[in-house]
Every structure is written in C-alpha cells, then in structure tokens.
Structure 1
Amino acid sequence: MTASPASPYLLRSSTAGNSLKGALDSLIASHINQIGPSMLVQVEAVKADDAAITGKVTVRPMVQQQDALSRAFPHDLIHNVPYLRIQGGSSALIIDPKPGDIGFIIISGRDHTHAITTRQPAPPASFRQFSMQDCVYVGGFLNSGPDQFIQATDEGWRIVTPGSVTIEARGNIALKADRIEASGDVITSGDVRAGTVSLKRHVHGGVQTGAGTSSPPQ
C-alpha cells in the first residue's frame, strides 16, 4: 500500500512491495535518514570574548522535521557549537556571529567531543556517528545587509562604519598614495612635518612689528 501524496517524500513507503529490492531500499533509506545532514540554522546565542579563543554558538535548525501526516516538529537547540573564524597562525579576521544570523552546520562523522575539548588529535568520545551534536557553524547566509563592512569594488577598497575606526600598531603606519584628503580635523599629540619643516619647531624670518607678515616657515 502506497502512502498518500501528502506524505513527505522521504517517508513514503516503497512501491516495490515485498521484493528484495524494496527491502534493500527501505533499509538503505532508514540508514540515510539517521545521518545528520549539513543544514541551515539560526543563531540563538553567542559566547565570545574579544580576541580570545574562538567562541561557540547555540543554534536552531531551520528545516523542521515532519511525520507521516506532514505535521512539522521543530528540532531541539544545539548548544556549544564552535564557529568559523578566518585565521592563520596568530593572525585573524574577527567577526563574531550575532543572534539572528543564519548559517550552516557541518556535521562530523564521529563524536568529536575530545578533539573540541583538548584542541588536539584524539579518539572519538563515543560510538555516536553523524550526530547534529557533533558539528561546527559556518555563517552567514541569507542575512540582512550590514551597517558596516569592507567592500572590494572595481575602483578599490571601501570601508564603511557608523562608528569609529581604530588602528593600533606597535611599529610605524605607512600610507602611500598620490594624495591624502581629510574632510574633518586632524589632531595629533606628536609633530607634523612637511618635507623638512616641523609644525611644532619651525621658525619664521623677517619678523617685525606692525602690519607686516613673516617669511615662510623654515
């Protein structure tokens, strides 16, 4: 007996009756259904701490489960999911997820609890396989347009933020351009030099009282 057309496709019974092929198909489908697939999720909570070790998120799978009558059932939340950070050695681009972000979870084939805890190669913590508990988060997809961003255009790089931009360097900062323009005030606690002329320490020649002007700075 076949299932009604309203039944979810993966839950419909085989049309092969009691044949060997039908039995094998049912067995294979049963095993496939037990494999946790990569899926869209939405971030519910984030545990991050500035530039510390990469944090973790709590996510909710967005594609719900269905029963044989097409009734939807939400998945449970998945806690303590490590998220992706673009990093090489001690250099990183830190953009932590935010609640409401949409991304993907990538599911491990085995229980990776020991490897996550120790950050070292380790045997699986249990015989669990393809479980949604053993996943990492990669985002974001389908999110709204950002308020601040770094954009590569045909004309060059564009940095936009509604706040401030802070650059910290222990060494020098070198700017190389044909022209540097500022639409606001330029404030510095140090000196400014144009060629060999210091803004703080330059002198003027031809100084005299009255309405005369001095010579250019030296």
Structure 2
Amino acid sequence: MSEPVKGARKLSSANSPVNAISFLVERMLAGTLNTCTLVRVDEVDPDPDNPRVAVTPLVPQIDGDGNTLAPQSIYDVPYSRVQGGVAALIIDPVPGDIGIALFAQRDITTVKLTKSAGQPGSLRTFDQGDALYVGWVLNKTPTVFLELTQDGKVKLVAPAGVDIEGDLRVSGKIDAAGDVVGAGISLSGHDHLSASPGDPTSPPRSAP
C-alpha cells in the first residue's frame, strides 16, 4: 500500500488565525509563483530553428515534515544563444550541464510556436511550463575556450584545431611558432629554382 502524500502544513500552521492566513498566503505564492532556479540539462535538441532542452530542477520541494519531493523534468524549454540578427556565438548545452531556468510571467506557448506576438495560451502565470534556459553556471573547467582578458588580449584555445570558412585579413604581423602552409606550399620548407645565379627565380615550390 502506498504512503499518503504529505502536504506542506506544519504543526504550527493552524495554531492561530495569523498563522493560518500566513500559511495560505505562503502556499499560494509557492504553488503559483515560480521565478528562477538551478536546473540540470537532461536532453538537448539543437535544431537551428527551435533549439530546446529538457531540464530537471536541482533544488527539490519539501513537505511539512521536511521530506524531499522528487523534482519532475520540464520539457520543450527554449535555450538562449548570444545572437543578433544572423550573427551568433553557438555553444549548445550538453546533458549534465547546470544552468538557470527562468519562468515567464505569462503563458508563452503561442510565441514559442509563431515567434511573434500573440495571446497567452492559457491563464497560467509564472508556471514551470513556461521555462526559459538562459545560462550556464557551476560547470566544469573548459578545455576549449575563447578568453578576452583585461590586458587587451584574446586567447583562443582549441586543441583539435580551428576551421575558418571565408577570407582572413590581418592588420598586424603574424608570429607563427609552427609552419604556415598555403596552397600546399610550406612557408619554412620551400625553395625556388633559377637557370643560373642572378637569374629570376621560379615561384615557390615544395622542397624535395
């Protein structure tokens, strides 16, 4: 036989009219007014048009006896990217990440579907069903990162390499610790041919 569900009422909740009213007000706020909380990412759908995550709150509710109530997952949660127009910094979350979930004042279902202004889908307010995942906190030390320092420098760490699509223009000098290869020709390991000393040389070619 299953155990009865314990409510949030304490022994002191009904000791006086003041306590009773206070309990009612507190429960009305706690039951209907979600603001923000820390969550764990469980699933990620990085659809470019509708990126979504499923998350689980990390701080559970407790009943009147202090027993923990298991938190339930929240699905279809939009997550944010640093973006303006068609330009974006894309760092999608992964399962296990910890972040912040905000809960909208009104039902945002219509806006999620149409990406334009619209009537709320229901009369609910500050509901967990209207969650937004907006940030990453309390996570492990990154090994791939772009760091902007206060001394005016930019540090890019990418152990697996950097791929650039498009032209690259540099207004200052390039100081490379390793070789630079262009069109298959090594900068530090190529040579030139000439018919005789003093004659014009050929274009650079790979060293034999």
TM-score for both structures, normalised by structure 2:
0.80
Deviation at 1:214, TM superposition (A): 4.4
C-alpha spacing 1:132/1:18, structure 2 compared with 1 (3 Å) = same
Matched with 1:98 is 94
Comparing both structures, which one devotes a greater share of its residues to strand? 2
Q: Are the aligned partners of 1:54 and 1:85 in contact in 2 as well (CA < 8 Å)?
A: no
In structure 2, how many angstroms separate the alpha carbons of the residues matched to 1:119 and 1:26? 40
- CA deviation string 1:92-146 (max 9, x = no partner): 1111011111001100112111111111111111122211011100220000000
Q: Are the aligned partners of 2:179 and 2:186 in contact in 1 as well (CA < 8 Å)?
A: no
TM-score for both structures, normalised by structure 1:
0.77
Deviation at 1:54, TM superposition (A): 4.5
Matched with 1:176 is 171
Structure with larger Rg: 1
SS of residue in 2 equivalent to 1:137: strand
Q: Which of structure 1's runs of 4+ aligned residues deviate more than 4 A? A: 190-193, 213-218
Unaligned regions of 5+ residues in structure 1, if any?
1-9, 194-198
Deviation at 1:45, TM superposition (A): 0.7
Matched with 2:117 is 121
Give percent identity, aligned residues only. Answer: 34
Deviation at 1:161, TM superposition (A): 1.1
Indicate whether 1:33 and 2:30 are aligned.
yes
Q: Are the aligned partners of 1:108 and 1:135 in contact in 2 as well (CA < 8 Å)?
A: yes
Measured on the aligned residues, the alpha-carbon RMSD in Å equals 2.8
User: Which structure 2 residues correspond to residues 130-209 of structure 1 after superposition, within 5 A?
Assistant: 130-153=126-149, 154=151, 156-169=153-166, 172-177=167-172, 179-189=173-183, 204=194, 207-208=195-196
In structure 2, how many angstroms separate the alpha carbons of the residues matched to 1:41 and 1:155? 34
SS of residue in 2 equivalent to 1:133: helix
Question: How many equivalent residue pairs?
Answer: 190
Matched with 2:40 is 42
Unaligned regions of 5+ residues in structure 2, if any?
1-7, 203-208
SS of residue in 2 equivalent to 1:105: strand
2:174 partner letter: I
SS of residue in 2 equivalent to 1:98: coil
SS of residue in 2 equivalent to 1:117: helix
